Amino acid sequence: MRHLFAFLLASSVPVTVLAQRPAHQHSKHHDQTGIVTGRVVQADGKAAEQVSVRVKGTQLGTTTAADGSFELNIPAGWQVLTVSCLGCTPQEVTVEVKAGQRVEAAAVRLAAGEQQLTEVTVTGNKGLNERTPSVGKMPIAPLDNPQATLTIERPVLEQQQALRLSDVLANVAGVYVMGSTGGTQEEIASRGFAYSSSNTFKNGVRFNNGIMPEVSSLERMEVLKGSAAILYGNVSAGGVLNLVTKKPQFQRGGSVGLRVGSFGFVKPQFDVYGAVGQSNKVAFRLNGTYERGDSYRDGVSSDRVYVNPSLLFRLTPKTELIIEGDYLRDNRTPDYGIGAIDYQIQDSRSRFLNVAGANNATNQTSATATLTSHLNEAWQVRAVGSFQRYDNALKSAARPTSIVATPGATYGNWTRSLQRTETAENYFLAQLDLTGNFRTGFVGHTLLVGADADQYDTNTLAYTNPASPSKPTTAVSTYDVINILDPDKVIAQPAERLTDFNSLVRNSLTKGNTRRAGFYAQDLLSLSDKVKVLAGLRWSYQETPSDVYTYNTIASVAAKTANTYVENRRYDNAFSPRLGLVYQPIKTTSLFASYANSFAPNTGLDLQGNSLAPSLIDQYEVGIKNELFKGALSANVTAYRIVNSNQSQSVLPTDPRYTTNFTTSPMELAGQVISKGVEVDVQSRPVNGISLIAGYSYNFTAYEKSNIYEDGSRLRYNPAHTANASLYYSFGNVFANGVLRGLNAGVTAYYVGDRLAGRNNRTLNPATGKPWVDTNNNPINDAFKLIALPNYFLFDASLGYSYERVSVRVKLANLLNELSYNVHDDNSINPIAPRNFSATVTYKL
């Protein structure tokens, strides 16, 4: 491990290596004691978290909270408090403690120490309820927050050799991969709701999740479960995910490494950081990687390049500016999986159904500037400006649908067609937040007031089939015909076929320019040491224009229709309230209950011909957070109920309000979807070299009111149960000296329970509003069916060894060689990876 003292000294960010939980000095009340409160800040005015505050000459002490505050119950009389941390000069504060009274000690501003430190290893020693996620925008200690939060730190990512975001999510109860359409992205969901690009963030800024993010650049991953609409506006009810990248440091250092693995996988990577020249005001960081590999899937390969530069400017002792950018180029084979026949998965791990030359090419570039200024010890202002560019070019066979299911010579035949799209997106964001701590009488306040505005400017060019040479008014749509069970089977091909992707012609250009703005305020009111209330409100405005240009693609059509242009405009606004109550019977236990509201914009027109209003979604949450065994183990339990009582659905033709004046089916907010469940999160600090992460989630998301789906029918893709456990052990506590002191080992287990894919059965035919019948008016069943996906249990094992600056880690994943699938509808059925091996060698600079 590298020396970390220079970084701590230069950045003035104090860290207590062996941080202690608040000590409860007396098992019973003592009349000759008083309460001392105070606050510790860094040299630049920032709150100093996890700083040791001890009563000189005694064993009494505590550590500061996220906002730098502390509280001690100590004997009456004159007492000396010693404030200390790694990399700073210890300071003493004298205070007179009066029996039965509360007294506030003078504020302490830390100063960097001058002494050299011996080598020290800093590990992830914060408990689950000591990590305040930055995505929450407020300096609220997790025990004071009436919401489930979780942070996975860099040491865990390194121990588990996380390669994809799904590897990291295996440590988070209730957040899961719901699909991997086309094999080009990992679709994430929580509590029955999908995480769109509106729910995924990088350094607090939305990013397009149509591409797999790079995990090697992460410092940590933050999860804010449940509604976050008050902070970010249009986000789904399941929660938000924030990826925090590595930050500049003033200490010089870094690493280079190489990861290799099964299926020809190679991934060199580097990370360097330090001060710019001899400056103590400007620091940099640059990390990046190149990756290439084949796959356990026939015909699938990928390569990608990622670079993540950043600069830190200390403009004044109280103001800093961080400029971060990244670039990702990702090329991979689009892969819609192995196919299904009449909603039956045709088991295979390797079957590949795409065409030669298929490619999904993505480039993503972003730049973010974050200015933080401490106006004084109580107030801080933060401004963020960001730009993101996203370009994607897809050339692929269409998804495998309409596969012949009739027994006979053509059983399993599939007529392949081609698809081609080009997407370009510019994203702009501006955000301003003011946070502060103050008191009004006996009530303490932690206040957030903010505003944000963003804009998506998207152009999507779609291609379609060309005109037939022999029948100019029709189109050629077939590329070829194959048999999915035997791709080498010889099948007669049609006379007129598409030759390649260049055969396709431009069909439409869709220009979107979504503009959003929001104003919000949130206040944590500390009514007493035990009772706190979090209340807030946001107003959001969203404008969604969509202009569609349609090209006359078949030039010889008799009517000779010209290119057409359709302009669409939507204007939505919504209020998102939040109210939460926290009760702490003791310092290490927190009970909470909360209500929050979010919204989801809809498409279509209502019965009056107006744009359909947004759906408003109510969320209720209760839970308990515990710090056990003096903070060695954190255990949180959360129960929730999410109700979308105005789900968008079509008005059926049999409805008396339905008229033929509508060119498309009118919509109404009359359906209802309910999600309910329980989540358990457990984390430990490293104790005697052992660290543990575990969790369990149960979720049931179903239609409760619908005019075409059966009440109580489950929504697709959401596992009823998930469970995770990761146990890591460092042998340094046993072999303090010798060659074995650098040895470490870990195991990770992840269980995904029963899920559904396919398509939900419809009780009525939406085209008629009546039960299903055949051409002779005989009753039949809906053609849609559900697919029950197999449960699976992943078991991984890792072994690592570090000696001086060199470390080696090996990992065996899916040791039991479990087989299951991530499925979208019935046309993107992607098997999970089989048993595989990887090894990483790293040299620290």
Confidence of residue 741 (pLDDT cuts 50, 70, 90): confident
- Delimiting residues of CATH 2.40.170.20 domain(s) in the chain: 359-844
Confidence of residue 24 (pLDDT cuts 50, 70, 90): very low
Confidence of residue 109 (pLDDT cuts 50, 70, 90): confident
Q: Which residues pair with 793 in a beta bridge?
A: 751
658-677 in b/e form (b: 16+ CB < 10 A) is beeeeeeebbbbebbbbbbb
- Please give the average per-residue pLDDT across 83-109, as a whole number: 80
- Please give the average per-residue pLDDT across 764-773, as a whole number: 91
Q: Identify the burial level of 238 via C-beta atoms within 10 angstroms of its C-beta, where 0-12 means exposed, 13-18 middle and 19 or more buried.
A: buried
At 182-237, the pLDDT tens digits run 888 899 999 999 998 888 999 999 999 889 999 999 999 999 998 899 999 988 89
What is each CA distance from 64 to 52, 163, 483, in whole angstroms?
7, 35, 66
Residue 11: the pLDDT is: 36
CA–CA gap between residue 635 and residue 694 (Å, rounded): 9
Decide: 424 and 391 in contact? Cβ < 8 Å: yes
Q: Is the pTM of this model over 0.75?
A: yes
- Please give the average per-residue pLDDT across 76-88, as a whole number: 80
- HEC readout, 159-218: HCCCCCHHHHHCCCCCEEEEECHHHCCCEEEECCEECCCCCEEECCEECCCCCCCCCCCE
Element (H, E) at 10: helix 5-11
List the single range of 53-57, 655-659, 682-686, 738-742 with lowest mean pLDDT. 738-742
Of 345-349, 549-553, 608-612, 750-754, highest mean pLDDT: 750-754
CA–CA gap between residue 222 and residue 237 (Å, rounded): 16
Residue 170 has pLDDT above 80, yes or no: yes
Element (H, E) at 640: strand 633-650
Degrees to nearest 5, angle at CA 443 with 45 and 15: 30
Residue 567 has pLDDT above 70, yes or no: no
- Please give the average per-residue pLDDT across 746-773, as a whole number: 94
List the single range of 57-71, 103-117, 508-522 with lowest mean pLDDT. 103-117
Give the whole-number percent of the chain exceeding pLDDT 90: 66
Degrees to nearest 5, angle at CA 517 with 514 and 520: 150
Structure-block tokens of residue 458 = 């998207």
At 647-677, the pLDDT tens digits run 999 999 898 888 767 777 889 999 999 999 9
- Please give the average per-residue pLDDT across 146-152, as a whole number: 93
Residue 553: the pLDDT is: 58
- Three-class secondary structure of residue 762 per DSSP: strand
At 443-468, the pLDDT tens digits run 999 999 999 999 999 999 999 999 88
Confidence of residue 735 (pLDDT cuts 50, 70, 90): low
Confidence of residue 8 (pLDDT cuts 50, 70, 90): very low
- Please give the average per-residue pLDDT across 521-527, as a whole number: 96
The more confident residue out of 363 and 737 is 363
- Please give the average per-residue pLDDT across 273-294, as a whole number: 95
Confidence of residue 22 (pLDDT cuts 50, 70, 90): very low
The more confident residue out of 288 and 662 is 288
CATH of domain 359-844: 2.40.170.20
The more confident residue out of 131 and 474 is 474
Residue 117: the pLDDT is: 39
Structure-block tokens of residue 725 = 């456990």
- Work out the mean pLDDT of the chain and round it to a whole number: 88
At 258-271, the pLDDT tens digits run 999 999 999 999 99
Degrees to nearest 5, angle at CA 14 with 10 and 17: 120
Residue 797 has pLDDT above 70, yes or no: yes
- Please give the average per-residue pLDDT across 623-632, as a whole number: 91
Pick the CATH number of 5-109 from 3.60.90.10, 3.50.50.60, 2.60.40.10, 3.40.228.10: 2.60.40.10
CA–CA gap between residue 619 and residue 617 (Å, rounded): 7
Residue 244 has pLDDT above 90, yes or no: yes
Residue 737: the pLDDT is: 67
Residue 572 has pLDDT above 90, yes or no: no
The more confident residue out of 469 and 638 is 638
- Please give the average per-residue pLDDT across 146-163, as a whole number: 92
- Please give the average per-residue pLDDT across 745-762, as a whole number: 95
Residue 74 has pLDDT above 60, yes or no: yes
Residue 556 has pLDDT above 60, yes or no: no
The more confident residue out of 107 and 203 is 203
Q: Identify the burial level of 316 via C-beta atoms within 10 angstroms of its C-beta, where 0-12 means exposed, 13-18 middle and 19 or more buried.
A: exposed
- Delimiting residues of CATH 2.60.40.10 domain(s) in the chain: 5-109
CA–CA gap between residue 386 and residue 429 (Å, rounded): 5
Residue 324 has pLDDT above 90, yes or no: yes
The more confident residue out of 483 and 45 is 483
- Please give the average per-residue pLDDT across 435-445, as a whole number: 94
- Tell me how far the alpha carbon of residue 467 is from its chain's centroid: 44
Residue 28: the pLDDT is: 37
Q: Identify the residue whose tokens are 């010209």.
A: 562
Strands (DSSP E) along 665-781, which ranges?
Answer: 667-684, 690-705, 721-730, 743-752, 755-758
- Please give the average per-residue pLDDT across 615-636, as a whole number: 93
At 367-403, the pLDDT tens digits run 999 999 999 889 999 999 999 999 999 999 999 999 9
Q: Which residues pair with 539 in a beta bridge?
A: 519, 575
Residue 624 has pLDDT above 80, yes or no: yes
Give the whole-number percent of the chain exceeding pLDDT 70: 91
Confidence of residue 488 (pLDDT cuts 50, 70, 90): confident
